[in-house]
Each structure stands twice: as C-alpha cells, then as structure tokens.
Structure 1
C-alpha cells in the first residue's frame, strides 16, 4: 500500500534544491504519495526561532558553503554557491507551484525548472515573466498559473501550509513528515527511507519527566 509523505519546502531553500532530485527518486522507488507543501520560509524561521542566512554568524555561513561543496560533489550537481538572484522573494513562485497542484498533473517538471533556474542558470524567480516562461517550458499554462497564484484562495493555502508545518514541528526546508514523524533536511533522506522499509513504528516525542 502506498505511503504518504508531506514535503514542506520553499524554492528559495538551497537544501531543498540539493535534496529534491534524490527525494524524487526515493518517492518513485518507494511508490510514495507526496503531498507538496510550499511555504514562506522566513515566516517559518520567525515562528520557530530560526534566523535567515544573512543574520547568522559568519562562522555558520562559512560552514554552510563548505557543506554545499561536499553535497554538490556527492549529488553530482552543478550549481552556483552564490547565485546572482539569491536570496530572492520566492512567494510568487511558491504560490505558482500551489496553483499547479490544482491541475492534478505531475509537478515534478515544474519544480525541476524552478530549482535549476535559481541555482544552476541564475535566473530571477522573483520576475513574473520568467516564472511564466519556465512554467510554459514545464508543460503548464504559465499565464493561467500566474493569475491563479494571485487569488486569495492560494494565499490562504500558502499560509495554511506554514501553520501546519509549525504544528507538526517543522522548522526548516526541506522537512518531510511520515506518519507524524519529522525528518528535517535533505541529509535525512536515508533515515526517511529506512522508516519506510523497516516496518518500525513512527517515533514521537516521549513525555518529559
């Protein structure tokens, strides 16, 4: 029987980009039903005690770059450590993904276009024309998605994803939820797959003494 995994992410998240191809392969391999939940990442940080990258110490920023180089090699990716248009205001792109989900079609091509546009091709995903063109390239009607992304219903779902992530204990991107158990970070994908295949019960939070 197919298992369901909630995937909380933001397109501005470097680690969501790094881990997405591996997660997509895992989902296919394990025949997962994926619930895609884009959310406003900075609001998630603010609600859970996290800091945007620019506000972290230079020590933490430097280590992040070292880690990115390790994972770039391990995942055999080809991306820029300091993309031209990053950090970016990604709310519109995230909401276009939400609008695309309503079509009931596979959004994998759209996510690949958007992620690689930021990190590999250094395109500006805060630009509406760019978003439309990339959506068209991925097989969607970009202009239609752009208009739908501006509706109150999509904004409500965007904010609902944020609140649900908070309620489920998520505090960063990417976060994966399986049977109520949180797996934070693309480097937790092996642990997610083990949970799927081992038959073990989900780990919750035991009562504190």
Structure 2
C-alpha cells in the first residue's frame, strides 16, 4: 500500500484550494496519507523562496489572478484579501497534530476546514474558539486545542526538518515513493502516478 506524505500549511491558500481531492485520490488508489503540517515561511527562507508580500509586483499580481481563477474553476468560495492573513498558523497546526494523535475524526476534512476558515470565512485560526470549532466540525474533541501543545510544537518543528530533507519548498506538497508533486494542480498527476500511468 502506497503512503503519501502530505506537507501542508494551515495558512496556505493553495492547500485550501486542494479541498479534499487528495483524500479522494488516496481512497481510490488504496493509499494512506501521512499528514505533516509544517512552517511554510521557514521553508521558504531555507529553500530560496520569498514570502508573498516581498515578491516583485508582477508576481504578486499574477498570484492574485491565479488564485481567483483556480477558486472559480474549483467552485470554492474565496477571499483574495482575508481579514486575518497573515496570522499565526502554528496554534491550528498544533491542534491538528493533537487530533492526529488522538484519532476519532476526519483529518483531511480538518485540514480543509482550517484553511477554509482563513480563505473563505474571514476567521482568525490563531484564536482558540476558531480552532475548537474546526476540530468539532471535523469530528474531533474540541478540547484537543488545549492539549499536547508541547508535543505539537515538537512535531511541527520536526515536520519542517523532514520537509527540507525531502526537498519540499512549498505547499501543498505530496511525496510518494520519492516522487514529489507540488501544488493543488498536481493532484491529478499524483493520481496517475498511483495508477502506474506516470
């Protein structure tokens, strides 16, 4: 059975646009998903990337157009200028890791709900009540937002190191059998790879 390492960032608009398509592809191909939330800004700094606000205006403008187009194509609600971006994405990542360790809910849905809160609902995912609501909606105990913070922080740090070692430089990033797929627009290619067609 193939295992997909999924590196995602709680603040990434592209992770939001990925929706739950990864989970659908994994189920279709009998693959498992190893969710690895990580600190994307740190990865940018260590792999030659540049934060969106620091990019050349041509890149900033293109990003805005492309995100809007992709959201329309995927029929997902999207706010190009969310009220709480950037914010501290770490607390939501720690809660995700606590949920991952606890089990009992839908991790793929939780990842989508957290990113949706930022990019479609103008919520601040650094706030405890927002995190609790996300956990509850995905079938997890909302009190997980208050537990395992130390372990969550340690795993979050380790995930960043794993990401760098694996050649990850953006999000969403999918790795299976050493094959790397970057971006929500590469989920179809990942599907083809799992089918043995790529």
| Corresponding residue of 1:204 | none
Task: Name stretches of at least 5 consecutive residues in structure 1 with no aligned partner.
Answer: 201-209
Give the TM-score normalised by the residue count of structure 1. 0.88
State the SS of the aligned residue for 1:102.
Answer: helix
Moved over 3 A (4+): none
What does residue range 29-44 of structure 1 map to in structure 2 within 5 Å?
29-44=28-43
What does residue range 4-153 of structure 1 map to in structure 2 within 5 Å?
4-105=3-104, 106-143=106-143, 145-151=144-150, 153=151
Give the superposition deviation at 1:24.
2.3
Higher relative contact order (CA 8 A, sep 6+): 2
Cα distance in structure 2, aligned partners of 1:27 and 1:160: 24
Which one has a bigger Cα radius of gyration?
A: 1
The CA RMSD over aligned residues, in Å, is 1.5
Q: Do the aligned residues in 2 keep the contact of 1:92 with 1:149 (CA within 8 Å)?
A: no
Cα distance in structure 2, aligned partners of 1:83 and 1:185: 21
Q: Do the aligned residues in 1 keep the contact of 2:8 with 2:173 (CA within 8 Å)?
A: yes
Give the superposition deviation at 1:199.
5.7
| Corresponding residue of 1:206 | none
Determine if the alignment matches structure 1 residue 175 to structure 2 residue 173.
yes
Cα distance in structure 2, aligned partners of 1:63 and 1:121: 23
Cα distance in structure 2, aligned partners of 1:194 and 1:139: 31
